[in-house]
Amino acid sequence: MHNFGYSEEGQVGSFGDAHIWRRLLVYCRGHVLGMGGAVALSLVVTAATLGLPRLMQLGIDHYIVADSLDHAVRIAGLGQTALYYGLLVGVVFAATFAQVVLLEWIGQSIMQRLRQHLFAHVLTLDLSYFHSQPAGRLVTRLTNDIQNMYEMFTSVMVTLFNDGLKLAGIFWFLAMMNGRLALVMAVFIPLAVVVTVVFSRFAREKFRAIRSQMSKINSFLAESLAGVSVVQSFGGQGRSSQTHCGLTQEYLARSFGQIRVFGAFMPLTELMGSAAIALIIWYGGGEVIRRHLTIGELAAFISYMRLFFQPLRELSQKYSIVQSAMASAERIFQTLDARSAMQAPAPEKTAAAVALTGSIEFRGVHFAYQPDQPILTDINLTIASGETVALVGATGAGKSTLISLLVRFYDPVQGQILIDGRDVRDLPLAALRQRVGIIMQDIFIMPDTVRANMILDQPPDEARLADILSQTGLQPFIDRLSQGLDTRIGEGALNLSLGEKQLLSFVRALYRNPAILVLDEATASIDTESENLLEEAIAAGFRGRTSLVIAHRLSTIRRVDRIIVMDQGRIVEQGSHDELMGRESLYRALVRLDVRMDVREHDQFAGESLSRKEQADSD
């Protein structure tokens, strides 16, 4: 079955996984006092809760059935008992409220720290990791898995601790009040434990199945909504609706499976509780008749047994959540343990400031995404500082991969890439990518102002930004925006055209003042007006920089100093435009093909314009 980019692999997670608890405790170190306070509040809640049946016993034995006391004394005593009962209820309320608030704060703080740590770590991983991990899985790590752990740290952990104390306290009170009756009640403990363990095992499997199916639904929804234009364009609404219906039907079936498990466990627990109370009435009533037990103690026994089975029901329900949280913790720590395949340079190699002028050398470079599928083979290329070089070739020739190696999105399998004679693997990544500016075909736009999208993480400098806009001739583009540089763009705001996004990305690259400027298919899909404006900006941006251009339209690269022709991961030709056109070459064939495509596009455009004109004349 299609998993829609999501699968739940790895360990299930267990409550007894000590190594997970040790790692979780690292995030709890800053909250020792708060957690100690929560434990103290648990003791207060448990003591006050267990004191309520004891007060009821005292009220019955000392006042209700105490015929020897004066009527007024009995009424006054009952009033005082009721007052103490109310005070204990108030203590339970106040302590529970304080405990919930405290644990919510601790849980939120721990999860915030873990969430930030996880996100920061994911951003340090190389692209090969992201290619092996579906985006839906990583989003689940940062959202659902964190939420699972949050629930454990707040409601579940306090429930487990409180209920554990409550069970121990109940049995102690029973033994203190009447040891024989406590032993009779002890026969229900192993039975309750067996039922709880069996239920928890079934509930865990059902819960895992539901969670896995919900993950598939979420992944399918993300996939469908991201490509909704394609779905609508090709009439795929029916197929998508049918697939979604199948996924939700399976989710419904798995949910009913969990309901059946709960439906069997809850009545069984109630049955055990009722049997225990019936046994107390039968045996305890006989003890009352034989005057070995008071009426108040019998009533207290019944109240304690009702309290005894309540934690068992809650423990069994929370157990599956704990298992889910431990499984989430296991997957989160697996992600945190992932390491980038690219090794960081040694500290002594990064100590000196990086000042690059822009000379580039590819020396015997080999690369493959998969071991048996080479992408680049024996690339040897030297580019002088300030030189403008174009990389051309058919789709899949390896042009973009060469750029990815230059900025260390990946490392070569064999060979070296040097900038100013220094291996890029010896340069700090931040410094390398600061000095290499890339303008890609796909542009990332943040939901923020135009200024923020241009500056990104760089220190703001209005004079420098204005100078770049003036030199590249892009100031008119900014002037056309309603609020200039303060215009908000991105999701929920102004949507820029593809050409306008490319203009913005060009300023973004130049603002970093790169020594090397790379254009990866930057003009492949934009309109003619935007392309002309961008060409003017490119000409200004190339001055004083080493420039690499990957061009889809070969007509845009005639002014470069040198053209490198690639085919099937190898450099097969190089030279100027005139040199390569002067002989039978792959470049010459590519140019002829490009010219025929341009003519075809021009004829199609002209035909559409003529048709529109004739239609207008006829109207």
CA 78/CA 223 separation, integer angstroms: 67
472: enclosing H helix or E strand: helix 462-472
List, in sequence order, every residue forming a beta bridge with 437; answer none if it has no partner.
517
Residue with structure tokens 């949910």?
255
- Compute φ and ψ for 249, nearest 5 degrees: -65, -40
Q: Which residue has the higher pLDDT, 151 or 40?
A: 40
CB-CB neighbours of 232 under 10 Å = 11
Structure tokens at 289: 């008749």
List, in sequence order, every residue forming a beta bridge with 54; answer none if it has no partner.
none
Is the pLDDT assigned to residue 84 strictly greater than 70?
A: yes
User: Strands, DSSP E only, in 64-198?
Assistant: none
CA 103/CA 155 separation, integer angstroms: 8
Q: What is the pLDDT of residues 562-600, one digit of tens each?
A: 999 999 899 999 988 888 888 888 888 887 776 555 544
Domains of the chain: 18-336 (1.20.1560.10), 360-594 (3.40.50.300)
Q: Which residue has the higher pLDDT, 594 or 161?
A: 161
- The per-residue DSSP string of 444-455 comes to ---SEEHHHHHH
With 0-12 / 13-18 / 19 or more C-beta atoms within 10 angstroms meaning exposed / middle / buried, residue 586 is middle
CB 436 within 8 A of CB 514: yes
CB 203 within 8 A of CB 262: yes
Q: What percentage of residues in the chain have a pLDDT greater than 90? A: 12
For 473-504, give one letter per residue: b (16+ CB within 10 A) or e.
ebeebbeebeeebebbbbeeeeebeebbbbbb
Predicted TM-score (pTM) of the model is 0.69
Q: What is the pLDDT of residues 90-110, one digit of tens each?
A: 999 999 899 888 888 888 888
Question: Which residues make Cβ contacts (< 8 Å) with residue 35, sequence separation at least 6?
Answer: 28, 106
pLDDT band of 555, cuts 50, 70, 90: low
